[in-house]
Amino acid sequence: MTMLRQFRLIVAGPLDDERADLLFDRAGDLSVEAVPAEGVAWVAFDRVAPTLVDAVVSGVRDLDAAGVGIDRAVDDDPLVTLEVIAARIGRPVEVVRGWAGLPVPVREHPRRPVYHWPEVSAWLDRHRSPVSPAGGADVALEAVTLALRLRALAPRLERMPPIRSLLYP
């Protein structure tokens, strides 16, 4: 089902303004975040796609085209707004806003509080709409990560076809 898919690609190597220019030239449904002090950067996607796998693979292609290296695919940012919570459970934001007992936001704000998704998800499972597993999201992200690692190793392999044949026993 075509729907919003949210995930991040952790960047390997430099992510400068020129590469960010190329990324934003190519796609308008992403954001780029860097924490130089920790040596980490990622590209976060809000992509509409039939499956998470389709979304992540198309995201990999975007970074490839911009010359941005990729270390791994991971879950979306755990910090969410009421709008994101509402979208994930398919309820109007006004309904979610009115729920008593929602976990305390990590950022109190009269109009735009910010919540920690794992806490919200656990609360929803107990009290409201159980959050259905996102169709094996962990498996999809790990599979893409493994494919990226194999791709990185391929140039150093004596022969690739026998390795590729292992995918189809």
Name the site residues for another protein (rule: CB under 8 A).
17, 20-21, 24, 28-37, 44, 46, 77, 79-81, 83-84, 87, 106-107, 109, 112, 114
- Nearest-approach distance from CB 122 to another protein, in angstroms: 19
Distance between CA atoms of residues 27 and 67, nearest Å: 14
* Residue number with CB closer to another protein (85 or 148): 85
* Residue number with CB closer to another protein (131 or 143): 131
Q: Each residue of 34-71: b (16+ CB within 10 Å) or e?
A: beeeeeebbbbbbbebeebbebbbebbebbeebebbbb
- Nearest-approach distance from CB 137 to another protein, in angstroms: 18
* Distance (Å) of CA 147 to CA 36, 52, 126, 150, 151: 27, 15, 36, 5, 6
* Residue number with CB closer to another protein (19 or 144): 19
- Nearest-approach distance from CB 147 to another protein, in angstroms: 26
Q: Which of 37, 38, 34, 39 is nearest to 16 (CA)?
A: 34
* Residue number with CB closer to another protein (53 or 115): 115
* Residue number with CB closer to another protein (48 or 153): 48
Confirm if 77 and 43 have CB atoms less than 8 A apart: no
* Distance (Å) of CA 127 to CA 103, 120, 131, 149: 11, 10, 11, 40
- Nearest-approach distance from CB 20 to another protein, in angstroms: 5
- Nearest-approach distance from CB 124 to another protein, in angstroms: 18
